[in-house]
Structure 1
Amino acid sequence: MNNSGNPRLEGKVTIVTGAGSGIGEVAARTFAREGAWVVLVGRREAPLRSNAEVISQAGGKAIMCSADVSSSDDVNRVVAETLDHFGQIDCVFNNAGIQGNGGPTVEMEESSFDELIAINLKGPWLMTRAVLRSMLDGGQGGAIVNTSSFLSTGATAGTSAYSASKAGLDAMIRAIALEVGDKGVRINNVNPGVIDTPMLRAHGEEIIPPLAARAALGRIGTPQDIADVAVWLCTDEARFITGQSVLVDGGFTIPGPR
């Protein structure tokens, strides 16, 4: 968290996907507080518009682009509109993701697997590919952060596809970091533990106390806990960090990543 009062991303242009709720909603506001111009991306226009209004009322600058991150046409359109509006892209937070219709592998539909991989893994890859073309052509470098998960190295029953999608992100950034590091582009993941989001609460309020009790810090995380790390990874304070998956879980996985 920046306590200096000096915006660390002044004049930087940042794309945030999944910016209508949860981690993405809070991250977009946090990027804006740090001086970034923010492009809010998601499938639902109403929450994007609401978040853009909050940012504007706080003195920030934001535009919205309704898009499906698993569609290359949509992703390319977002990048083109961002460049048309702001002229550059400096940072990306690939946060959009779903838990999908999980459950035991033998009961999971192929279509559910395909949707989950398309959004959680292909989506960040598509956005990264599109923005890299701009960053590399412009020669200004940049920073990309993806939302992975503690489940990329662990699992619970019923997360075979979800865990695979997040493990794919962890592997993906290592290769990309080697491809673009000498061009001034950094790419990292933030790997949340159990975070208080609508996605979590959809499983029922009763699961939260035992999950909180498991963490070393005695609580589940907040979207702000993750947003602060994602923003930090895009600042010059993290200038020598690339190809890394940063676990932010309050000590939840110390007994074992399950």
Structure 2
Amino acid sequence: MNSIENKRILLTGATSGIGRSLAKQLLEKGAKLAICGRSSEKMESLLQEVEAYSSQVYSETFSVTDEDANLQFIEAADNFLGGIDILINCAGLNSARGTLNEIKTEELDFMMSVNFRAPFIFMKEVFNRMQSKEIKGTIVNILSTVCLFSNENIGAYTASKVALDGLTKVFRKEARRKGVNVLSVYPGGVDTAFRTADRPDYMSADSVAQAIITTFQYPKDVMPHELVLRPEVEENF
């Protein structure tokens, strides 16, 4: 079995939801992390929670819509970690709901920037750094089951995630030739602040994070490509 201990991991979207759970669990397992998020307050709260592991974590707060900030963070993260073994693109949002005729162009553009363009930048830059150091790493994109089942009133969010899904599938074939595995994770309903109402019948962020981390501990001759996770109550498949 592979071990998480001493793995060098870059994680976006670390201040809330699945990303926050991933950060805490990975640190507890001995990983070394570079994390980012949008909210300074949420980041400070997270860092207080994981204070015992402060020597293992580097953090920055900024919007992933800012390409220069992304590039600067990737460079700083690479320097702090001494190389990147795993990239987890977890930053994402659904900032506009409504039917197609109700969605504003700027709302679609914003979601595409966060949910598609930013992960593209992180994949490209981290992959190139893995190659320069001959690291046979793993790149993980947190997608959504909206890629697998169409739901009304979330067309812009769905479009942004489906775009990333398509890019990920192509990149998986390109990256495998260089020894880098690309994993797509499709969570269904998760009970987080991402939703406007509590859904205790949905998966917890902690459970989803645990399932994702399990894939890092598979035998070395097993390369997972896709992980679909749904709560028992969900029937949209």
| TM over 0.5, shorter chain | yes
Q: Which amino acid aligns with 1:250?
A: P
Q: Say which SS state the counterpart of residue 197 (structure 1) adopts.
A: coil
Q: Which amino acid aligns with 1:130?
A: E
State which of 215, 227, 230 in structure 2 corresponds to 1:246: 227
State which of 211, 222, 226 in structure 2 corresponds to 1:229: 211
**Residues matched between the structures, number:** 237
Compare 227-236 and 69-78 and name the one that shifted more.
Answer: 227-236
Whole-Å Cα distance in 2 between the matches of residues 239 and 36 of structure 1? 22
Aligned pairs for 1:45-194 within 5 A: 45-57=40-52, 61-194=56-189
Whole-Å Cα distance in 1 between the matches of residues 58 and 223 of structure 2? 29
Alpha-carbon offset, residue 164 of structure 1: 1.5
CA 1:18/1:238 → structure 2, altered by over 3 Å: closer, same or farther? Answer: farther
Q: Which runs of 5+ in 2 are unaligned?
A: none
Q: Say which SS state the counterpart of residue 198 (structure 1) adopts.
A: coil
| Residue 37 (str. 1) matches residue 69 (str. 2) | no
Q: Which runs of 5+ in 1 are unaligned?
A: 1-5, 213-218
> Are the counterparts in 1 of residues 88 and 141 from structure 2 also a CA contact under 8 Å?
yes
**Aligned match of 1:3:** none
Alpha-carbon offset, residue 238 of structure 1: 6.7
Alpha-carbon offset, residue 58 of structure 1: 5.4
Q: Which amino acid aligns with 1:167?
A: V
CA 1:237/1:161 → structure 2, altered by over 3 Å: closer, same or farther? Answer: farther
Alpha-carbon offset, residue 251 of structure 1: 4.0
Alpha-carbon offset, residue 229 of structure 1: 2.4
TM-score (norm 2): 0.92
Aligned pairs for 1:211-222 within 5 A: 219-222=201-204
Compare 170-179 and 131-140 and name the one that shifted more.
Answer: 170-179
Q: Deviations over 1:83-142 (max 9, x none)?
A: 222221111111110111121110110000000111011111111111011101110121
**Aligned match of 2:236:** 256
Q: Which amino acid aligns with 2:8?
A: V
Alpha-carbon offset, residue 59 of structure 1: 7.2
Q: Deviations over 1:143-195 (max 9, x none)?
A: 11111111111122111111112222222222111111122211112111110
Q: Which amino acid aligns with 1:188?
A: L
Q: Which amino acid aligns with 2:210?
A: D
TM-score (norm 1): 0.85
Whole-Å Cα distance in 2 between the matches of residues 197 and 187 of structure 1? 25
Q: Deviations over 1:23-46 (max 9, x none)?
A: 111111111122111112111122
Whole-Å Cα distance in 1 between the matches of residues 64 and 54 of structure 2? 28
CA 1:159/1:94 → structure 2, altered by over 3 Å: closer, same or farther? Answer: same
